[in-house]
Amino acid sequence: MKKFVLIAGLVALAWQSVSAQSTPTADEVVDKYIAAIGGKDALMKVTDMTTNMSSEGQMGAIMITRKQKLPNMFSMVINANGMEVMKQTGDGTKIAMGGMQGSRTIDGDAAKQMTVMNVLFPELHYAENGVKTTLVGTEKVDGKDTYKLSHTSADGVTTWTDNFDATTGLKVQAVTTAKSPQGEMKSTMNYSDYKDVNGIKIPMTILQQSPRGPMTMTVDNVKINKGLKDSDFTVK
């Protein structure tokens, strides 16, 4: 009986050891993702990127243009049937937001946290921006085994989650929650159909699910290191 108890104990310890070794840390999950999309050295050589996407919505054909430039500038313009319906521009300090319901400028901590999430390859800069990342555990996403990470901004106010394919390391889902006059709005982005662009893997299909309804965005083209100017990101 004593031998049986001893053997059972050893088996349990061995299983715990294997489980500990097979479950990666949050940093290891992020590192695997960075390696999967091209590697840190390749990503650090990207100084600017322009992504053109298209979709279909209730307002007809939708065109989305997203620009990003080091160190922390970004913009996004959404056009529906040729009419600009939304625009965001971040200069690294302030963010101008405009749309059919008016415009406003965000600064301070709110602008900082939006910038952290919209810079080129944000995972590369989490540490320097004070983002704390923890491993939540495993989760099935579209039938795939994934590792789910939770991120918290430096001030502890903003949180969001990412899911990374346990096999490939690629990001397959991101969930954000934003506050609005109507309350909290949850947005889920699912990434698929990764393709190589100048040595970097980019998801060519993005499914967004939000209170406004689902929208599938197709990446039409990606332009890397084309010399975007700082003036493209001016916030007045």
Q: What is the pLDDT of residues 179-228, one digit of tens each?
A: 666 667 789 999 999 999 999 999 999 999 987 788 999 999 999 999 99
Residue 78 within any structural domain of the chain: yes
Residue entry with tokens 């993005």: 206
Residue 196 within any structural domain of the chain: yes
Distance between CA atoms of residues 80 and 78, nearest Å: 7
| Per-residue CA distances from 225 to 44, 47, 69 (Å) | 11, 6, 9
Residue 74 burial (CB count, 10 A): 22
Distance between CA atoms of residues 165 and 33, nearest Å: 9
Residue 13 banded pLDDT, cuts 50, 70, 90: very low
In sequence order, the 6+-apart residues with CB closer than 8 A to the CB of 175 are: 160, 161, 162, 186, 187, 188, 189
Task: Please say whether the beta carbons of 78 and 63 come within 8 A.
Answer: yes
Number of domains in the chain: 1
Element at 29 (helix H, strand E)? helix 26-36
Residue 9 within any structural domain of the chain: no
Task: Please say whether the beta carbons of 124 and 40 come within 8 A.
Answer: yes
Distance between CA atoms of residues 169 and 191, nearest Å: 12
| pLDDT given for residue 181 in this prediction | 61
Range of the domain at 127: 26-233
| pLDDT given for residue 173 in this prediction | 97
Residue 2 within any structural domain of the chain: no
Residue 57 within any structural domain of the chain: yes
Note the pLDDT tens digit of each residue in 39-55: 999 999 999 999 999 99
Q: Does residue 11 carry a pLDDT above 80?
A: no
Residue 68 within any structural domain of the chain: yes
| pLDDT given for residue 17 in this prediction | 42
| pLDDT given for residue 20 in this prediction | 44
Distance between CA atoms of residues 138 and 178, nearest Å: 24
| pLDDT given for residue 158 in this prediction | 86
- The mean pLDDT of the chain is 88
| pLDDT given for residue 6 in this prediction | 45
Q: Does residue 2 carry a pLDDT above 50?
A: no
Note the pLDDT tens digit of each residue in 137-189: 999 999 999 999 999 988 888 899 999 999 999 999 999 987 666 667 789 99
Residue 211 within any structural domain of the chain: yes
- Of residues 11 and 90, which shows the higher confidence score? 90
CATH of the domain at 180: 2.50.20.10
Q: Does residue 81 carry a pLDDT above 80?
A: yes
- Of residues 13 and 229, which shows the higher confidence score? 229
Residue 36 banded pLDDT, cuts 50, 70, 90: very high
Residue 94 within any structural domain of the chain: yes
